[in-house]
Structure 1
Amino acid sequence: MGERMCPVCRKTLLSRYSGDPVCAPCARSSRGALPAVPVWLWDSPEIREALASADLPAFLLRVRSAMGLSQLELASLVGWSQSTVNRVENGERNTLYDIRELLRFADAIDMPRQVLVPLITGKSVTEYPAEGINADMDMDRRHFTGVLAGSLAAGMGWRSPIIPDRVDAAHIKQLKATIQRLYADDQRMGGGLLLSPALRQLTRVRRMLDEADFTESIGRGLLSAAGELCICAGWLAYDSGDQSHARQLFGEALLYAEHSGDERLRVNVASYLAMHAVRQARTRPGRAREALHAVAAGKDAARPWATPRVYGLLAIREATAHAVVGDEIACRKSIATAWREIERGTHEDDPDWTGFVTPTVLTYFEGLTAMTLGKPRLAVARYEHLLADASLGERNRTYYRSCLAGALLASGRRADALAEGVALLPDIGGSRRTLQELTGLREAADESSEFAYRYDRLLAA
């Protein structure tokens, strides 16, 4: 088959592997290479099924269970009593069969109204329309679905966040559950698809701090939660390739750590600031010194309480910064320190955010620092050893494979690198960070190659 020119831009040769009539950039608006952005973080087949069957007691119970809230905590969020929650869940009260109460409930837990569509259609839909629901009516269980089906009108979707007059422990618990859910979903779909809902939650928290009333202790907890959410959103921005936004969010998290007096949060922020500075040092070498300063600040904040896992994490960040400036001896010393700390095992006081600091992850950083120091063959060996671990999550495995592809290319094994690249591209999802690791491989690939075609599709999406 002969080569074809894109009929739109008349500049790009179409790959023989492409069935598209135009090139990847020209097809940007029509491609759906990535999964859809989640409508609501707590959405699930079970919640949709409960709505589709108009079983609102089950709907309420599943929402509360997903958020990890007690009846009393959910009651606090939505302005009910605990007994009301209990009776609604047991089917003894039809509170949610009043549309006004249902929409008030949705707004209170920051649920977009299109999540209620299964209640209208009787089907567990996978895509939501943009139409809305009219709240100006009363109804009972028997007539609810029929009347609701005829009440579509403008206004469904994300509304401006509803901010409570007074924040209590239940709101902080919901925020922490939201952060955990964001991290869990990140492992499935990548930061690019989750940044928007994370930023919406951050807007909510900022408004709580500015507009709501709370006690001093709740205020400190809210500041800490805001800092944790900034770190989470910063990571999602980092993973999606938005480094400027990531830097801003990590900086905001540091302010919340200082205002709350939360030393654990301060150390966590320092770790992420160091990570980000090291990445920026690829094009701005001076940022490596910034990373070392962040690590030093983290060590100072950690000294009164830190566990071996915490020191191991800071040693990893320190090693990557030393590698960027070419200090191999200091890098090896920091890697050795990290191994020594990690081999001391877990501790009951380990913060949740050190859970990823394992021998497997340290093996990855050995490969990363070897590449940075110009030793791609050593990096290949470390990455191959890492990928032999059957317990790796799929998203982490995909990222590590992209690192392996880069190391194979740098060590002169171009064909092996391209084969690895082609094989992993379908699994990238919303992680621009993983795609960026393959930039060098794209530059080395022939324009008409399968890898170039598939890479350009993802880049244009």
Structure 2
Amino acid sequence: MREALASADLAAFVAIVRAAMRLSQLELACLVGWSQSTVNRIESGERDTIYDIRQILRFADAVDMPRHALMPLLVGNPVADAAVAGTNPDMDMDRRHFNGVLAGSFAASIGWGSVTIPARVEAAHIKHLKATIRRLYSDDQRIGGGMLLAPALHQLARVRRMLDEADFTESIGRRLLSTAGELCVCAGWLAYDSGDQNLARQLYAEAYMYAGHAGDERLRVNVTSYLAMQAIRLARTNPGRAREALHSVAVGRDAARRWATPRVYALLAVREAVAHATLGDQIACRKAIATAWREVEHGTHEDDPAWTGFVSQTTLTYFEGLTSLALDKPVLAVDRFRSLLGESAIGDRNRLYYRSCLANALLASGSRTESLNEGLNLLSHVNGSRRTLQELAPLRAVAGESSEFADRYDRLLAA
């Protein structure tokens, strides 16, 4: 896209954007407010169609593209927008840049146009929003939630306005509610990964409300899974939250009973297992883990929701390590995490997080030096995942104040 802009090939630019969103010419026309023939003429290279800068800006705003992404068109350099904070996934981000997000000033802070919404929401707008959610999850695997929370919240602001101000049919309204819930879940995960647990909790609660309004049982189960996950994390300092996690699992299982696939039940089972482990109930934990393995062994199903895609035998190995650590069996946890890291299929971001879990297990098993060495190697790769940094807090507690680990950890924490 940058190369097309830098060479002023606006026909290719529009075609690339449309392909990335998986839209037909008619759907893109609906999204932007053009006719299908206009989109066809643009992509055919007719020069009297989109070469007016006002039309280009209108197009960018309609597809919710930050205006700084158009910079290559102005300077003829395909990486010209890399100088703008937040546009290069490989850049280190100043976390203070996100302070404006919660105050509602993100669009102005990095050059988005005004938050525009259609007068009437159609199927193309839903498709565009779902493509945005997929991209956020995809980018999260590369760069971490801290760098993606702001654009996710920006998208959510647009969807809220659509629900409040736009016109739509009853059918589109239900789909928009479900999509708003999916976006809340995604933004909630990014907030969770960024270390903002209060915001994550608010977003999950909003997603649960949308699921109820839309009558979307699949969304309800997905939200309860995330609520259970967060409650388990909060139980590290408040053990009573583990019982809240068990309640969320029970609500999710009730919503799932008429349609769920084995993968869905496996996901709920591992959430339940970790909650039981946090409460010290070894027997209930083992039973839940065994249930998860049994469900996963049934294999995939054509009706598996996309959000169960990560549930696999590899995932269960991770949860075995996590529950072993919670049950004060660090040697077994070390074995599970080492086995997990031997898998070639896990992504870089997940591998990073699993290594932080291994470092904690090593520390709990008494291997302090090995644990700190592992943690030190991780610090240069944490990037936008404050969650991974927080996992290393026990190592910071035992590291000497003058140690390299303490110095680098403290600088990352303050960033």
Match of 1:200 in 2: 154
Match of 2:120 in 1: 166
Match of 2:395 among 441, 448, 452: 441
Distance in 1 (alpha carbons) for counterparts of 2:41 and 2:82: 32
User: In the alignment, does 2:49 pair up with 1:49?
Assistant: no
Match of 2:82 in 1: 127
Q: Confirm or deny: 8 A CA contact 1:274 1:292 kept in the other structure.
A: yes
Q: 1:390 is paired with a residue of what secondary structure?
A: coil
Distance in 2 (alpha carbons) for counterparts of 1:283 and 1:55: 56
Name the amino acid aligned to 1:348: E
Superposition RMSD on alpha carbons, in Å? Answer: 1.4
Distance in 2 (alpha carbons) for counterparts of 1:172 and 1:241: 29
User: In the alignment, does 2:210 pair up with 1:256?
Assistant: yes
TM-score (norm 1): 0.83
User: In the alignment, does 2:72 pair up with 1:118?
Assistant: yes
Deviations 1:109-152 (A, max 9, x none): 1112221111111111143569xxxxxxxxxxxxxxxxxxxxxx
Q: Confirm or deny: 8 A CA contact 1:117 1:128 kept in the other structure.
A: no
Return 451-460 or 308-317, whichever deviates more: 451-460
Distance in 2 (alpha carbons) for counterparts of 1:94 and 1:429: 44
User: In the alignment, does 2:321 pair up with 1:367?
Assistant: yes
User: In the alignment, does 2:221 pair up with 1:285?
Assistant: no
Distance in 1 (alpha carbons) for counterparts of 2:255 and 2:38: 45
Name the amino acid aligned to 2:152: A
TM-score (norm 2): 0.92
User: In the alignment, does 2:51 pair up with 1:94?
Assistant: no
Distance in 2 (alpha carbons) for counterparts of 1:289 and 1:337: 19
Match of 1:342 among 296, 299, 304: 296
* Structure number having the greater helix percentage: 2
Tell me the number of residue pairs that the alignment of Structure 1 and Structure 2 aligns: 392
Task: Give 1:160 deviation, angstroms.
Answer: 2.6
Q: Confirm or deny: 8 A CA contact 2:177 2:214 kept in the other structure.
A: yes
Distance in 2 (alpha carbons) for counterparts of 1:232 and 1:430: 15
Name the amino acid aligned to 2:70: L
Distance in 2 (alpha carbons) for counterparts of 1:101 and 1:110: 14
Distance in 2 (alpha carbons) for counterparts of 1:281 and 1:440: 16
User: In the alignment, does 2:279 pair up with 1:325?
Assistant: yes
Q: Post-superposition, which runs of at least 4 consecutive aligned residues in structure 1 deviate over 4 A? A: none
**Distance of aligned partners of 1:217 and 1:380 in 2 relative to their CA distance in 1, 3 Å threshold:** same
Percent identity, aligned pairs only, is: 72
What are structure 2's unaligned runs of at least 5 residues? Answer: 86-107
User: In the alignment, does 2:258 pair up with 1:295?
Assistant: no
What are structure 1's unaligned runs of at least 5 residues? Answer: 1-46, 131-153
Return 209-218 or 63-72, whichever deviates more: 63-72
Asked which structure has the greater RCO (Cα within 8 Å, sep 6+), the reply is 1
Q: 1:436 is paired with a residue of what secondary structure?
A: helix
User: In the alignment, does 2:312 pair up with 1:358?
Assistant: yes
Deviations 1:316-365 (A, max 9, x none): 01001111111110000000000000011000000000000011011001
User: In the alignment, does 2:352 pair up with 1:398?
Assistant: yes
Task: Give 1:106 deviation, angstroms.
Answer: 1.2
Name the amino acid aligned to 1:320: V
* Equivalent residue runs for 1:203-214 within 5 Å: 203-214=157-168
Match of 2:18 in 1: 64
Match of 2:225 among 268, 271, 275: 271
Task: Give 1:155 deviation, angstroms.
Answer: 11
Q: Confirm or deny: 8 A CA contact 1:115 1:128 kept in the other structure.
A: no
Task: Give 1:453 deviation, angstroms.
Answer: 2.0
